[in-house]
Amino acid sequence: MFANRHATAMLPAKDLKRAIAWYEDKLGLRPVRQDEYGAAYNLGGTDIFLYVTDFAGTAQHTLLSFDSPDLVADMAELRSKGVVFEEYDLPGLKTVNGLVEFGPVKNAWVKDSEGNILGFVEGM
């Protein structure tokens, strides 16, 4: 029933102004529209809506993941903008300098200004 319908990923933000600034300053994303309730983005055909809620940052999993043709280079650029990569030491997943490799696939994660976990992946 929903296979051919448009979908939008929803990202929570406690402080919308701070979140909009983080996404622009760190990731270079600008909203296509915004109001007091949130900000809409179109990322290569994927729509994202950053919405105001007190529950931002409570999810303990990746909410949004970005493809990367060269994750190490992207990580270096993001670090130059002050982005801090998460370190994990879990069964079957241990990052080294913010990066984990699963064969040819590389992954890294950050938290945005609201505490939401964002992923970056090369090789999928």
Q: List the chain domain ranges.
A: 8-122
Q: Which residue has the tokens 């992954």?
A: 107
The DSSP-derived string for 72-122 is: HHHHHHHHHTT--B---EETTEE-BTTBEEETTEEEEEEE-TTS-EEEEEE
Q: What is the pTM of this model?
A: 0.94
| DSSP H or E run through 21 | helix 16-27
In this prediction, residue 101 carries a pLDDT of: 96
Per-residue pLDDT of the chain (124 residues; tens, 9 = 90+): 899 998 999 999 999 999 999 999 999 999 999 999 999 999 998 999 999 999 999 999 999 999 999 999 999 999 999 999 999 999 999 999 999 999 999 999 999 999 999 999 999 7
Query: For position 20, what pLDDT does the model report?
Result: 98
What was the pLDDT predicted at 36? Answer: 92
Residue 120 tokens read as 């970056």
CATH superfamily of 8-122: 2,3-Dihydroxybiphenyl 1,2-Dioxygenase, domain 1 (3.10.180.10)
What's the pLDDT score for residue 54?
A: 94
The pLDDT of residue 124 = 77
